[in-house]
Amino acid sequence: MGVNKKTAIITGAGSGIGAGIALKLAKKGADVVVLDINRPGAEKIAKEINDTGGKAIAVQADITSWPEVNAVVEETIRVFGTIDILVNNAGALKDSSILKMAEQDWDLVIDTCLKGSWHCCKAVLGHMRSQNFGRVINITSRAWLGNPGQSNYSSAKAGIVGLTRSLALEFASYGITVNIVAPGFIEAPMARRLPLETQQKVINAQPIKRPGRVEDVANAVLFFCDDETSYITGQILYVDGGRHVI
């Protein structure tokens, strides 16, 4: 039941939404691998979990690097003996009109959001298949539906939808589900980097007129992790105050 005694790798867990997911899963009894390119961030969250009776390790890794992702998987098996849950949360944002967008801003966002998620899936799915159990949750964004100034980010997040649906089909017969949580405006660093005026405009455009909380996203992730949701795969769960409906 739930995530108790399960092992979860959460990418980008050194801050914001990823940190919230790590803390939530740990509170529910999971052993957590706090993966982030930012070592101090990862160490802070792992310490918070260990200090409050949970079990976590911090690992610094760049998910755009296949050898670094593989090393995390080996370390996870060495420390916890298994990998049951992968949450692909790490992401990057470099907004501008396509007319002004530098090629490296395209590459950074695609490599971090899409290729990084592909690396992590590729590295854990063989293990999950051999144990006939796995839960993969990919964090995309409502922006996958399209947003001006986000040709790189929307493309990367739409790519994650294709990745998720393909893997859901490829691994359905092995007890592995692959699903998506698509946040809208969440009170976390990525949204808070937007100009204040833009933040207010986004919130005003939502049916539910408040920013989402990190906890709202963590609860959606928890839902897909549960044994009780084993019949749900390839699904997108929006956590966006109803914005995608309009």
- Binders of ligand NAD among residues 185 to 204 (CB under 6 A) are 185-186, 188-191
38, 50, 219, 235: residue in contact with ligand NAD (rule CB under 6 A):
38
For residue 186, what are the β-bridge partners?
A: 212
Rounded least distance, CB 100 to ligand NAD, Å: 21
- Tell me which stretch binds ligand NAD (CB under 6 A): 70-78, 84-92, 164-172, 223-231: 84-92
x/- string (CB under 6 A) for ligand NAD, residues 155-184?
----------------------------x-
- Dist CA 203 CA 201 (whole Å): 6
CA angle 167, 191, 88 (to 5 degrees): 20
Rounded Cα distance between 94 and 92, Å, is 7
First to last CA, the chain: 36
**Binding flag, residue 57, ligand NAD (CB under 6 A):** no
Q: Binding of ligand NAD at residue 91 (CB under 6 A)?
A: yes
Is residue 92 within the footprint of ligand NAD (CB under 6 A)?
yes
Quickly tell me which residue has 């005026």 as its tokens. 197
Cα 14 vs. chain centroid, distance in angstroms? 12
User: Counting contacts by CB under 6 A, is residue 86 touching ligand NAD?
Assistant: no
Which string of x and - marks every residue 130-159 that binds ligand NAD (by CB under 6 A)? ---------x-x------------------
- Out of 16, 54, 134, 159, which residue is the one contacting ligand NAD (CB under 6 A)? 16
Nearest approach in angstroms of CB 119 to ligand NAD is: 10
Distance CA 107, CA 118 (A): 15
